Amino acid sequence: MKKTMFTLPMVVVLATGMLTACGSNTGNNESATNSPAATNAASPAASAAATASGDKKPSGSITVLTQRTDIVDTLQNEFTAEFNKVYPDIKVKWEAVQDYENNIKIRMNTSDYGDVLLIPNNVEPKDFPNFFEPLGDYEADKAKYSQIDAHRFEGKYYGLPMAINTLGIVYNKKVFKDAGVTEVPKTPEQFLAAMHKIKDNTKAVPLYTNYKDDWTLSQWADYLQPASGDPNYPNLGVLQDPHPWAPGKPFNDIFKLMYDVAKQGLIEEDPTTTDWESSKGMLNRGEIGTMVLGSWAITQMQGAGPNPQDIGYMPFPTNAAKLSAPLAADYNWSINVHSKNKEAANAFIHWVVDTSDYASKYQGGFSAKLPLQIPELLKGFQDLGVTMEVSTPGPDDLNGILTKIDNDSEVGIHNPDFKKRLIESAIGNRDESFEDIMKDLDTRWNKSWEKLIPANYKK
């Protein structure tokens, strides 16, 4: 029986992309795969939960994979010490994975991908049982945890968000002040004007793309809700639209801003030499004005230098009437279906989500445990008039359709390819216009949309 799920073409399609299980739907309309893994996996997690709540606590050794290369030592020592106060017989080994999104997909072609891991983007729901242990029944737990619908299949859910983030732009408040920007820009026009002031009046890079690191570009695609101002758009509106990349549509607005900042010389001088780790300190020290990143980045930027007080968070510029920022799940904790210590792995995940301060302290976000409590560092963001709200879940018969259209069309919403085309074109390295690229994406998307969208959603 063939076990490998990421065939070569799939790896190419899924090669990058980060953040966000947000907006990803799963589902009932997917072909059911009653695999042996799914059948066998149901009982260990349930058993783990029962054991964890009983007198005898689980034990064993587990390996936890993380994308946080910057704080893996802290997690291994301080954080694990807190966990071991509750579970002294579980030995935890943290393993930081460089370029997590790419490398974890390669490892998932084997059984060696830790005991606890973070679910990469774009895994189709029908494949969840082949890779992950179910964590529980969706209907029973949907009132306990936020956004577990994103990783559900046939009544089970396979991931718990490590944090609930929102989306905006992280910026240096002192750079804005020195540049003479007195109000936080809220429209694309105001934002471009502010970037020009930074370029003209300071030595800072107005907007740092982190081009070379790919995933930083991929995140722009997640800003559908800020661009539309509509929490119904990411999971429903975009799927009802046969031409979501056309002028005036949210995808088009988002990437027009990316194109314009590059075209107008408001990004780093040589995008091919950017460095993610270095960029954190540069923003902290005022050498960068802005970066388009989720709220998870705030604590990392604050901790990257001597000026945590200068780090602010502002809304993504939009032409919409409402400033709406999604509350979206970050990576989801999950259990390797091949793990020999599923009970210990399950106890670890539930301690992290239910009890620890991992989400707020290390990710700068909300805990997935309901009810959601706004973290202190996002209250200023709220004061700017931003409504932080969960994207409306899509109907069951659209679950997984966005990913299917994306894969079939090879647009690659969370891949860096077309974002790099845009920047390369904007700085003069490619002979095609913004309109050319958007038309190409829209044509391919529409062809797959016509083939895959249920007839009752075609207007």
pLDDT tens profile 153-197? 999 999 999 999 999 999 999 999 999 999 999 999 999 999 999
d(CA 4, CA 33): 14
Phi-psi region of 185 (alpha: psi -120 to 50; beta: other; left: phi over 0): beta
The H or E element spanning position 194 is helix 188-201
Q: Tokens at residue 419, please?
A: 């974002």
* b/e map 175-193, b = 16+ CB within 10 Å: bbebbebeebbbebeebbe
pLDDT of residue 386: 96
Reduced to 3 states (helix: H, G, I; strand: E, B; else coil), residue 309 is: helix
pTM here is: 0.75
d(CA 113, CA 338): 9
Q: Tokens at residue 282, please?
A: 């540069």
d(CA 83, CA 90): 9
Q: Is pLDDT above 70 for 3?
A: no
Q: Tokens at residue 375, please?
A: 């973290």
pLDDT of residue 399: 82
d(CA 388, CA 372): 11
Q: Sheet of 160-161: strands edge to edge?
A: 90-96, 60-66, 116-118, 332-335, 160-161
Q: What is the mean pLDDT of residues 249-270?
A: 97
E strands present in 17-104: 60-66, 90-96
pLDDT of residue 336: 98
Torsion of CA 9, 15, 17, 21, to 10 degrees: 60
Percent of the chain scored above 90 by pLDDT? 74
d(CA 75, CA 318): 37
